Amino acid sequence: MTGPDDVLLVHGGTPLEGEIRVRGAKNLVPKAMVAALLGSEPSRLRNVPAIRDVRVVRGLLQLHGVTVQAGEESGELVLDPSKVESANVADIDAHAGSSRIPILFCGPLLHRLGHAFIPGLGGCDIGGRPIDFHFDVLRRFGAVIEKRPEGQYLEAPQRLRGCKIELPYPSVGATEQVLLTAVLAEGVTELRNAAVEPEIEDLICVLQKMGAIITMGLDRTILITGVEKLGGYNHRALPDRLEAASWACAALATEGNVYVRGASQREMMTFLNVFRKVGGAFEVDDHGIRFWHPGGPLNAIALETDVHPGFQTDWQQPLVVALTQAAGLSIVHETVYESRLGFTSALNQMGAHIQLYRECLGGTPCRFGQRNFLHSAVVSGPTKLEGADLVIPDLRGGFSYLIAALAAQGTSRVHGIDLINRGYENFMRKLEGLGAQVELPAAVTV
């Protein structure tokens, strides 16, 4: 919801300089919290960022009788699932539209209670984002699913049973759905065409600490041998490679120099290669990565987003802003989400030259080719950006607009900044710490 407090004035033209810290990954932490539901003992999750997706999951867990308390160290949560109980449907429904994580409660709740109610999902509006794979796999385990006006109601008439599954596409969420369901199902589950993103590996580490038996094979195959009971875990969440890359792009686009404490090379190798090809400089040390613009022109590139180990789609939007400053024609082919380039029209209003196409402009024909989706872009640069009135469309698009406004000449009004809190911890404080000229209008109009 946007209101006067949800607008940020950004005075562009100042390079971002300094240091910020990233904590645990948005795309792992809420899922590790859900995993705690499967245990018979408390779990400790460390390196938890203060972002909205964590708050949403905390609320849903508490509704189901899980106590969630702050631990001893900063960013530590202690989750005790010993009194899991059914929650009131109206209370769960209050979380409708808030995040994509509620769908991952299915398996754990079916194991613990024999039933589950899942509200309508939220998440970024970057494509249709169906959940058919999730329900197909849950049915294979033996769940019965009924669509009701207020959401989805699921039952497990008997203990869920392991099965053989092949995903039509290596979906991150559907892979996690299988993992969180198979670990306590009877017998063995074989998952083919699984997603293998670093956050999935980290979730597998969490589950293994709880007592699960999971083997990651070659060729996207995962084997899970169901066990009778799981304990708790003590885990430090892997760092947020998506947030780290966003700050890297902000450093590049503003001709700045930002040290991202906590950023980890291993999970960012594909991004780092692309960053270097574009002309960005970086240096890795034991505690993080420094990103900077080394001076001179940036290079145009051809880029396709893909499932891991390809170029992560969530890196695409911030990088496109940096590409508006590169000399020549860059090609961006978005193959994961059919509508993730709509944010570029506002960049064009700021002076960028970005043309969208329905064709697959990269080397790989994707699921969206020959259909009515503007999913390829040609970015021609470099272009001077001017401040504008911007309305944030989604999480990464929102951060990209901040980058564009910071790189632009003049002042931008960025509306809907609260959306950024869903995945970027303390972004306002971080921006100010890096010297960004930003102010909330409340401070301006008083």
Ligand X SMILES: CC(=O)N[C@H]1[C@@H](OP(=O)(O)OP(=O)(O)OC[C@H]2O[C@@H](n3ccc(=O)[nH]c3=O)[C@H](O)[C@@H]2O)O[C@H](CO)[C@@H](O)[C@@H]1O
Binding site for ligand X (CB under 6 A): 27, 100, 127-134, 169, 171-174, 195, 197, 313-314, 336-337
The distance of closest approach from Cβ of residue 393 to ligand X in the complex, given in angstroms and rounded to an integer, is 15
Pick the binder of ligand PEP from 123, 328, 382, 433 (CB under 6 A).
Answer: 123
Here's the x/- map for ligand PEP, 285-324, by CB under 6 A: it reads as -----------------------------x----------
Using CB under 6 A as the binding rule, whether residue 23 contacts ligand PEP is answered as no
The residue among 121 and 210 lying less far from ligand PEP, judged by its C-beta, is 121
The distance of closest approach from Cβ of residue 316 to ligand PEP in the complex, given in angstroms and rounded to an integer, is 9
Distance CA 106, CA 87 (A): 13
The residue among 80 and 338 lying less far from ligand X, judged by its C-beta, is 338
Read off the tokens for 20.
């910020």
What does each C-alpha distance from 202 to 25, 32, 171, 235, 292 come to in angstroms?
Answer: 10, 9, 16, 9, 29
* 9, amino acid identity: L
The residue among 255 and 334 lying less far from ligand PEP, judged by its C-beta, is 334
91 is in an annotated binding site: no
Using CB under 6 A as the binding rule, whether residue 369 contacts ligand PEP is answered as no
Here's the x/- map for ligand PEP, 220-249, by CB under 6 A: it reads as ----------------------x-------
Query: Coil, helix or strand for 205?
Result: helix
The residue among 84 and 101 lying less far from ligand PEP, judged by its C-beta, is 101
DSSP code, position 121: P
Residue 274: count other Cβ atoms within 10 Å of its Cβ. 16
- State the residue number with the nearest CB to ligand PEP: 123
Which H/E stretch holds residue 272?
A: helix 269-278
Q: What, of ligand X, ligand PEP, none, does residue 51 touch, CB below 5 to 8 Å by kind?
A: none
100 is in an annotated binding site: yes
Using CB under 6 A as the binding rule, whether residue 127 contacts ligand PEP is answered as no
Q: Within 13 Å and on the Cβ side, how many CA atoms surround 143?
A: 30
Using CB under 6 A as the binding rule, whether residue 395 contacts ligand PEP is answered as yes
The distance of closest approach from Cβ of residue 59 to ligand X in the complex, given in angstroms and rounded to an integer, is 16
DSSP symbols for 38-86: G-SS-EEEES----HHHHHHHHHHHHTT-EEEE-SSTT-EEEE-TT---
Residue 392 CA, chain-centre distance (Å), reads: 16
Using CB under 6 A as the binding rule, whether residue 423 contacts ligand PEP is answered as yes
The distance of closest approach from Cβ of residue 123 to ligand X in the complex, given in angstroms and rounded to an integer, is 6
Q: What, of ligand PEP, ligand X, none, does residue 206 touch, CB below 5 to 8 Å by kind?
A: none
Q: Within 13 Å and on the Cβ side, how many CA atoms surround 40?
A: 8
The residue among 117 and 368 lying less far from ligand X, judged by its C-beta, is 368
Query: Coil, helix or strand for 266?
Result: helix
Q: Within 13 Å and on the Cβ side, how many CA atoms surround 425?
A: 20
In the residue annotation, 124 being an active-site residue is answered as yes
Catalytic residue among 124, 163, 205, 360: 124
Q: What, of ligand PEP, ligand X, none, does residue 171 touch, CB below 5 to 8 Å by kind?
A: ligand X
Closest CA to 242 of 75, 423, 426: 423
Cis omega (within 30 of 0) on the bond before 382?
Answer: yes
Query: Coil, helix or strand for 176?
Result: helix
Q: What, of ligand PEP, ligand X, none, does residue 396 touch, CB below 5 to 8 Å by kind?
A: ligand PEP
The residue among 66 and 174 lying less far from ligand X, judged by its C-beta, is 174
* 313, amino acid identity: T
Burial of 328 (0-12, 13-18, 19+ CB in 10 A): middle
Distance CA 151, CA 337 (A): 24
Read off the tokens for 111.
């194991």
The distance of closest approach from Cβ of residue 171 to ligand X in the complex, given in angstroms and rounded to an integer, is 3
Collect all residues with Cβ–Cβ distance below 8 Å to 57 and sequence separation of at least 6. 30, 33, 34, 99, 101
The distance of closest approach from Cβ of residue 410 to ligand PEP in the complex, given in angstroms and rounded to an integer, is 28
Pick the binder of ligand PEP from 46, 100, 415, 430 (CB under 6 A).
Answer: 100
336 is in an annotated binding site: yes
Annotated binding site for phosphoenolpyruvate: 26-27
Annotated binding site: 26-27, 100, 314, 336
Catalytic annotation, residues: 124
Annotated binding site for UDP-N-acetyl-alpha-D-glucosamine: 100, 314, 336
